[in-house]
Amino acid sequence: MPVRSANPIRARSLIRDNLEKQAGCLNLIHSRMPNIKVFSGTSHPDLAQRIVDRLGIDLGKVVTKKFSNLETCVEIGESVRGEDVYIVQSGSGEINDNLMELLIMINACKIASASRVTAVIPCFPYARQDKKDKLSGSEDKDESKILAKKNNDWKFRSRAPISAKLVANMLSVAGADHIITMDLHASQIQGFFDIPVDNLYAEPAVLKWIKENIPEWKNSIIVSPDAGGAKRVTSIADRLNVEFALIHKERKKANEVASMVLVGDVKDKIAILVDDMADTCGTIVHAADRLVEAGATKVYAILTHGIFSGPAISRINNACFEAVVVTNTIPQDGHMRDCPKIQCIDVSMMFAEAVRRTHNGESVSYLFSNVPY
């Protein structure tokens, strides 16, 4: 039988206090955010380590290996049940293997009952294949015109894939709840997803680097190496209060530029080429030569994603750049050893702050125009 208190008023008070404490505990459990776990893929462990160092936490335990038939195997080494999980994997190096590894890691965490899984993808893979605008690879332009005339179809229908949309679908199906990336090649890629996408900008870090490392930056001109980057360079030029120019390029085929036309006056000015990525570097090297011919005193190149494949490093070494500045969305240690002109901006603090704000349910819009210190 329950023990009766000698003082009924005292007993009722104790019961009420106990019920309030229990209700408070329940409310605390329901209202608190899940704990945070950050895991790293194999594409860029240095960036992931920098992110967790800034957050003041340890990197999650994960083992990634390949079977003899080259299938990827991922083992998450700690519990993620009810956790807020962030997986850092950049689209660099062996892109297809790294993408598959990211998908498997997302799925492994999701089916292990993670509360939310966020893919932190500093350099989004396949971002350049974002629209259906190319002619068929087996037909040149003249042949396409003849075929189109015969078929009464003057739109030159393309059979090129929209691979960025495919990657978006794969990430969603794998179980990603949120994407954090930087400087997408085309902003419309955000619309390929049915989940939230935070597209951070390297622009604040670029502005900071220009002001700290180019003493004569007030006599500079910001140049876009193609028409597609006009919006990017006008934004930087406005914030620096300097002029801008752009270069119109025509391609005969992929990775080969046929001609360049400079629009703007760069005579006796420091030209700063700004672009979102550089792969084989044919475009920026041709652009630098064109700027020197037009009278630019110095030429810098600032790129968010320095892919540097094929002959890129030798081209930069032989070009007239004062410096080629890239962020560490892609590992740059090897490139910097091979080319002394390459300098690196650390953007780990921007990703760390984006992770912290996302975890705490805060806005990340502050990062669009500021560098967190």
Tokens of 242: 């300097």
CA 172 to chain centre: 17
Q: Are residues 192 and 270 in the same domain?
A: no
Total domains in the chain come to 2
Say if residue 253 is in the same domain as residue 315: yes
Same domain, 296 and 171: no
So what's the pLDDT on residue 256? 59
Residues 207 and 178 in one domain: no
Q: Is residue 194 domain-shared with residue 283, that is, in the same domain?
A: no
172 and 288, same structural domain? no
- Mark 172-190 as b/e (b = at least 16 C-beta within 10 Å): bebbbbbbbbbbbbbeebe
Query: Is 263 found in the same domain as 331?
Result: yes
- In a domain? residue 6: no
Extract the tokens encoding 174. 């794998």
324 and 278 part of one domain: yes
Rg (CA), the chain: 26
Residue 281 to residue 69: CA distance in whole angstroms: 35
* Domain termination site, one of 152, 184, 200: 200
CB-based contact 254:279 (threshold 8 Å): no
What pLDDT sits at residue 343?
Answer: 96
The answer to whether residue 141 is domain-embedded is no
Asked whether residue 176 falls in the same domain as residue 212, the answer is: no
Q: Would you say residue 70 lies in a domain?
A: yes
The reply to whether 174 falls in a domain is yes
Instruction: Tell which of 200, 229, 246 closes a domain.
Output: 200
Token readout for 361 is 């349910």
**Domain annotation covers residue 28:** no
- Taking the chain, what is the end-to-end CA distance rounded to the nearest angstrom? 64
Strand partners of residue 249? 260
**Number of other residues whose CB lies within 10 A of the CB of residue 199:** 16
- Give me the residue label for tokens 């064109």: 290
Find, among 118, 300, 304, the residue nearest to 204 by Cα: 304
Which domain does 54 fall in, by range? Answer: 33-129+162-200
**CA 157 to chain CA mean position, Å:** 31
Residue 21 lies in a domain: no
In this structure, the answer to whether residues 51 and 185 fall within a common structural domain is yes
Q: What is the pLDDT of residue 253?
A: 59
Q: What is the pLDDT along the chain (373 residues), one digit of tens a residue?
A: 444 445 555 555 555 565 555 544 434 333 344 599 999 999 999 999 999 999 999 999 999 999 999 999 999 999 999 999 999 999 988 999 999 999 999 999 999 999 999 999 999 999 999 888 654 444 444 444 444 444 554 444 568 889 999 999 999 999 999 999 999 998 889 999 999 999 999 999 999 999 999 999 999 999 998 888 888 899 999 999 999 999 887 655 555 556 778 888 999 999 999 999 999 998 899 999 999 999 999 999 999 999 999 999 999 999 999 999 999 999 999 999 999 999 999 999 999 999 999 999 999 999 998 888 7
Read off the CATH number of the domain in which 72 is found. 3.40.50.2020
Q: Show which of 149, 177, 200 is a domain's final residue.
A: 200
Whether residue 356 is contained in a domain is answered as no
With tokens 């309030």, the residue in question is: 20
Question: Does 184 reside within a domain?
Answer: yes
Same domain, 254 and 238: yes
Please tell me whether residues 62 and 180 are part of one structural domain. yes
Cβ atoms 76, 62 nearer than 8 A: yes
Do residues 212 and 152 touch, judged by C-beta distance below 8 A? no
Number of CB atoms found within 10 A of residue 96's CB: 11
- The tokens 């974002």 sit on which residue? 130
Q: How far is CA 229 from CA 186, 236, 248, 359, in A?
A: 10, 11, 11, 32
